[in-house]
Chain A
Amino acid sequence: MPDIKVTPLGAGQDVGRSCILVSVGGKNIMLDCGMHMGYNDDRRFPDFSYITQNGRLTDFLDCVIISHFHLDHCGALPYMSEMVGYDGPIYMTHPTKAICPILLEDFRKITVDKKGETNFFTSQMIKDCMKKVVPLNLHQTVQVDDELEIKAYYAGHVLGAAMVLIKVGSESVVYTGDYNMTPDRHLGAAWIDKCRPDILISESTYATTIRDSKRCRERDFLKKVHETIERGGKVLIPVFALGRAQELCILLETFWYRMNLKAPIYFSTGLTEKANHYYKLFITWTNQKIRKTFVQRNMFEFKHIKAFDRSYADNPGPMVVFATPGMLHAGQSLQIFKKWAGNEKNMVIMPGYCVQGTVGHKILNGQKKLEMEGRATLEVKLQVEYMSFSAHADAKGIMQLIRMAEPRNMLLVHGEAKKMEFLKDKIEQEFSISCYMPANGETTTVTTNPSVPVDISLNLLKREMALGGPLPDPKKPRTMHGTLIMKDSSLRLVSPEQALKELGLSEHQLRFTCRVHLQDPHSDSDTLSRIYSHLKSVLKGYAVQHLPDGTVMVESIVLKVSSSGEDPNLKVILLSWSYQVNENKVFLFILLLFIYFEVKGQVKSPTRHEAIPTLTLI
C-alpha cells in the first residue's frame, strides 16, 4: 500500500527551525531548513543526524525547498549544505534567492563577529550554498526528475514567500510555509487552486486567534505611536529588515503626511535603501494596488523615513525608530532598547511573534527585570505593546485555505502544541478529515489510495460512451467489459476482440444446442412462422429476425424447426446459442415458447419443469 511519511526535524509542535522531511512515492524532500532563535547551542539547528548518521545528505534527499527568507526557515541552509553536506538542488523563489543570502550573512556576522562563536558557517559557505539554488517562478511546474514535480503558489507572508505543491504520480503534498490569507498594505493574499493533495502541511502560528480587522489594528498602532510622540517619548519598533517593516513604513509615511507630523522616523541598519530596492525590483510580488500604480508613484520611495545613525538614539525629543532584529535578541534593536528601557515615556511596539528565550518574548510576558550579559540587570520601565502585524494566517485563514485546496489529510506544524490541539479538533469536526500534529522526530504515515492510470482504446471508450451515456445512472448501471493487457510497464485496456487480435490468438467458439420436442399439426415452416410472429410480439426490444434460410434468430440465439420422420406432428425445435449469450435469456425464451404452445393447448411439455428451475439456477 503506498503511503506518505512526514517527519518534522523542527517546527513540530514548535515555532522555529522549520525543517520537515517528506517521503512520497519513493522521493525524499526537505521542506525548509531553518534555525531556532531561542537557542544558542546545538538545538539552534535541526538534527540532521536523523537523516543519516554518517556523512553527506545528498544520497538521501531528492531536493530541498525553501518557502521564504525568514531565518527560522532558511537559517540552517549553509550549515546543512556545506557543513553536513548536500549537493542536490535547492529550490526557492527569485526574491527569496535574492534576500536570503543577505540575512544569512547578517546572522553570521552577529553570531561569529559579535558573539565570537567558532565552528559556524563562513561567508564563502553562504556563497557556495547559494550556487546550489534553482530559482522557482510562481505556478511554473518544475520537473525535479522524471517523477517528482513541484509547483509554487503565492503565500503573501513576506516578499517572495511561496507555498509549494509536491507531486509524484498521483500522490501529492502541499507545504504552506508561512502564509497570510488577507492582503495587506504591500502584499497580496495567499492563493492555491483546488489541487486536492493527500496531505496539506500548514503552519499554525495563530491557530487559536481570530484577528480583528486589519483597519482596527492599524488605527490602534497609529494612535499609540502618535500619543507617545505627543508626550515627547521615543518609539522603538523592532522589525526584520524586510517584510513587516515595509508595511509599517507605508503606514507611518501616509500618516505623517496626512497629519503633517514633524518628528523624525528612522530606519536602522544599512539595509534600508537596499531592502526598499528589492521591493521596487520585485514589484510583481507585491499586491495589486502597488503594482498598478508603481509607474506613477513607487510606494517604496519614502519621503519621511530616513536612515538611522547610532548616535541619534541619544538625541533629545520624540522619534520613531525601526530597528533590526525583530525579536530583540541581538543587534541594533537590542542596543536601542537598552538605552530607552528606563524611561516610562518611551514605548516599544513588538509587531510580530517572539520566540521563547528572546528578550522580546520575555518583555511581552511582562518581565520587568532582565538579566543582561555581565550579570547586569535591566529594568524595563518603558511601555511594551504587542501588535500582531506578522502576516500569518489566523484560524479563519487556515480553514479558508483548507476549503481552497480540499486536502484528504491535514498536518499542522509551526505552532504551539496546545493551540494546535484546539485547531486539530476544529478541523476534524468541520471537514471530517484526519489532522496530524507530529512532534519533532516523530513520523506521521498517511496511506494513500491512488487510482491506476491506464490507456483505454479510443474505440472501446467511444462505444461505451455512446451506449451508456456519460454518467452512470445509479438505477441502471451499465457494465463495461474490457481486457487489460499488461506488458512491460504499459497498461492498456482494449475490447476483448482487439485483445485477441493483438495477442495473435484465435477465438475459440463454444456453442450449445438443445432440442425441444412439441406437438404441432402445422407444417414446419408454418410452425416457424407462428413462433416468429409470437416472439416478435412478445419480445419487444429484442432483435427477432426471420431469416431466409429457414431460421429464426432472437438476438444471437438461433432457432430451427424440423419434424421427425415418423410423426409429422412431433416437431423438433433446435435452439443453438454461443457461450457469450446470457443464459437467462435463452431460458426465458424457451419458457415463452412453452407458455405459448401450452396456452394453445397443443403441446405437452415434458421439459418445462426442468427448464423453469434453471431460471433461478443461473
Chain B
Amino acid sequence: LIIFMLKSQCRRYCLSGHPTLPCNVLKFKSTTIMLDCGLDTTSALYFLPLPLVHSSRLSKLPGWASKDGTVNLEKELKECAGRVFVDSQPEFCLPEVELLDLSTVDVILISNYHCMMALPYITEHTGFSGTVYATEPTFQIGRLLMEELVTFMERVPKAQSATCWKNKEIQRMLPGPLKDAVDVWSWKRCYSMQEVNSALSKVQLVGYSQKVELFGAVQVTPLSSGYSLGSSNWIIQSHYEKVSYVSGSSLLTTHPQPMDQSSLKNSDVLILTGLTQIPTANPDGMLGEFCSNLAMTIRAGGNVLVPCYSSGVIYDLLECLYQFMDSANLGTTPFYFISPVANSSLEFSQIFAEWLCQNKQSKVYLPEPPFPHAELIQTNKLKHYPSIHGEFSSEFRQPCVVFTGHPSLRFGDVVHFMELWGKSSLNTIIFTEPDFSYLDALAPYQPLAMKCVYCPIDTRLNFHQVSKLLKEVQPLHVVCPEQYTQPPPAQSHRSDLMLELQPPPMAYRRCSVLGLPFRRRYERIQLQPELAKALVPSEIKPGISVATVSAVLQSKDNKHVLQPVPKPTPVPPSKKRKRLMEEVPELLSPKPLLSGSIPLDAFLASLHKSGITEVKVEETADGHILHLQAEDALIQLEEDATHIVCDNNEPLRTALRDLVLRFLQKL
C-alpha cells in the first residue's frame, strides 16, 4: 500500500452516546480506527419479556389502543402492570452507522467483551473489510456472550416484528416511556449465529504490550486495564504522537491482571470512556450487602435470584460466596448457574492464567485451577445447566441461589424464575449488574411480592480514581463523553461526580465529530548507512552541527528511506544541441543556501594571493565595492549579500565565486 499524502489532522467521530458502551472512530495519519463497538441493550426494556415456558399471565395481556380509539395497536403493544410494552422480539440500539462510511474503517480495536457486542452489525452488511483486534479472553468470552444472546432469542422465536408503533406520528401519541424512546427506526433485532461467526473470523488475536503496526503509519498496543479477563486500554501512536484510549478500567484487585498505568504516560490525547455507572456505590460495600441479603433469604427458606451476565463479576461473586457460605453456616445451599454458555464460561475462566492477577496466576504453577469455582463444582455445591429444561428440572432443590441471565429480565432463563418466584415474599432478587435500571427491569412483573435488593457492583474507575490517574499520567488533552463533564442530573449538587480538569476536557456526544489538537511536524525517516557515512558535518555553533544532505527519497508502506544519489551514468556526448537542453540534468544537486559575511581584509588578501592585485576599494553605505581594474570586474560586498559583476570571463567568475564561498557557511 502506498499512501501519498499524510493527514496532519486527526479527527474523532463518536457513534455511540452511551459512555460505557462506546463506539468511536479515530482518523489518524490516514488510518481509520474504530474504538470499540458496544451494543446498547437498554432498548430491550421497552419490550415484553420472552417467557421460556408458556405464561398465561403474559399471553392474556390486553392490547393497547389510544383512549379516543384513533390509534389501535392491539397486536403490537400490550398493557402490562400499568405500562405499555412492545410485544415483539427485543431490539437493540446500534451505534450510529450513518455518520461515516463504515467500509472505510481499517481496523476495530476492542477493549473488553462487553464492548464488542455490536460487532456483527458493524462488520457484516456494511462493506467493512478491515481487521478487528482483541485479546484472546476478550475474543473467547465475547463469543460466548454473543452465542448466549443469539440462543436466548432463537429459543423462543417470535413470528411478529412490530414496526407500526415506530411511525413518528403514532409514536408521538403513545404513553411514556415509549413516547420518548429515541432513534427507534435504527433499532435492530438480534443477529444470527452465522453473522457472529463471520464477524469473529475477522478478529486477530493480540497480547498485552504487543506492538501492532498498521500500514506502517501507526502502531497500536493493548494494555491491561484491570476490568475483566483480557480487558485492555489501547495506545495508538506514531513516532511523534500518542493517543491513549482508556475504556473500562479498574484499579480494584479482583481477578484480572492489574491495570497498566505507566504506559499511558506522555499522551498527547487521552480518550476517556467507561467509567463506573454507579459512582456513589462502593463495590466492596455492595458485596457485603449482597452476602447478607442472600444469607437472610436462605435462612428464612427463600430462594435468591441473581440476574447476571455469564462472565465477569459472577466469578468474583462465586469466589466471595465460596468463602462466605461456610462461615455463614449455609454450606449445603446449592448454587445453580444457568446459561447456554455456563459450562464454557466456567471452563474458559480457568485457562487464561496469563491474564489473571498475580495470586491467581501463581495457583496455576502448583498446578491448581485459578478460580475456586472449580472446587465448588467438584463438591457439587455449584451446578451449571444450559437451560431450565432437561436435567435441571429434576435435580433442582430449594432453597437455592440461581445465577442466570439476561440482566434486563426481558429474555433468557431469568424470565422463568421471575414468573416462578415473583409471587412469594420469601424470595429475593439481587441486582448486581449496573447496566439496567432495576425499576424499569422489574416493570412488567409488577405487582411483585418478592424482595428486591439493588447491589450494583461496578468496578470501573470512579471520578476520584480518574482524577488521580490523570494527575499521574498527565495527558496534554482529555476527551470524554459530555456526561462526565457535569454532575448526574439527579445529583446536580455533587460536583465531585464530574471531571474537573485544567485545561477542561473536550466533551463529545452521540454523532459528534471532534478535531483533536495535534500539530504533527516531524516524520521518521531512515538514512541508509552509505548515505550517513558520506555526510560531512560542520559545527555552526557550539554543540550544533549541520550537514547538507542530498539524497533520493523512497517511500513505501509509509516508511521513508533516504538513499545516496546514484552516480550518473555518463551520457554520450550529444551531437544535437537540442538534446542537450532536454537532458538538463535534474540530478545535479541543488546548491546550498549560504550564510555568514565576508571580512574585507581577509578577502583582499586572498584576492591578492590568487594574483588579483589591482583592486580599488570604495566604501558605500552598506559595505564596499571592489573594482578589479585589470580584469574589469566589480565585487559588491555587503553584510548579507555579495554581487559579482563580470562580463564574459567565465574562468574569472568561477575563481571569484570560489573565493567568496570560502568565507561562507553552506546549508
Contact = CB atoms under 8 A, between A and B. Distances in A.
A516 B653 CA distance: 14
A97 B584 CA distance: 68
B357 interface: no
B532 A452 contact: yes
A457 B528 contact: no
Given A507-B640, A579-B594, A477 B521 contact: no
Given A451-B526, A465-B4, A485-B544, A284 B352 contact: yes
B520 A458 contact: yes
A257 interface: no
A476 interface: yes
Nearest to A482: B549
B649 interface: yes
Main secondary structure of the interface of B (DSSP, over half): mixed
Contacts of A479: 550-552, 565, 586-590
A277 interface: yes
A486 interface: yes
A135 B665 CA distance: 55
B522 A282 contact: no
B590 A580 contact: yes
Interface stretch (A177-185, A422-430, A493-501): A493-501
Nearest to B582: A541
Contacts of A614: 650
- Of the candidates B541, B545, B591, B649, the one having the most CB atoms from chain A within 10 angstroms of its own CB is B591
Interface residues of B, number: 101
A455 B648 contact: no
A567 interface: no
Contacts of B31: none
B529 interface: yes
Interface in B618-667: 640-650, 653-654, 657, 660-661, 664-665, 667
Main secondary structure of the interface of A (DSSP, over half): mixed
Given A458-B521, A470-B556, A510-B642, A480 B653 contact: no
Given A138-B207, A281-B364, A94 B546 contact: no
B328 interface: no
Interface in A481-531: 481-488, 492-493, 496-497, 499-500, 503, 505-516
A610 B648 contact: yes
B554 interface: yes
Given A94-B361, A295-B343, A472 B554 contact: yes
Given A456-B522, A610-B648, A481 B548 contact: yes
A469 B211 CA distance: 29
A25 to B, nearest CB: 15
A465 B591 contact: no
A481 B550 contact: yes
B106 to A, nearest CB: 19
B210 to A, nearest CB: 4
A511 B581 CA distance: 24
B490 interface: no
Contacts of A461: 6, 523, 525, 553, 560
B547 interface: yes
B527 A582 contact: no
A514 to B, nearest CB: 6
Contacts, number: 282
Contacts of A278: 367
A366 interface: no
Given A479-B589, A610-B649, A585 B584 contact: yes
Nearest to A483: B667
Contacts of B554: 471-472
A464 interface: yes
A437 interface: no
Contacts of A454: 524-527, 562
Interface of A: 94, 97-98, 101, 135, 137-142, 274, 277-278, 280-284, 294-295, 449-458, 461-462, 464-465, 468-472, 476-488, 492-493, 496-497, 499-500, 503, 505-516, 579-582, 584-585, 588, 591, 595, 606-607, 610-611, 613-615, 617-618
Given A477-B587, A483-B547, 11 more contacts: A135-B361, A461-B553, A471-B554, A479-B589, A481-B550, A483-B548, A497-B593, A505-B665, A516-B648, A580-B593, A606-B648
Interface of B: 2, 4-6, 8, 136, 206-211, 221, 239-240, 343-344, 347-348, 350-354, 361, 364-365, 367, 369-370, 520-529, 532, 535, 537, 540-541, 543-556, 560-563, 565-566, 577, 580-581, 584-597, 640-650, 653-654, 657, 660-661, 664-665, 667
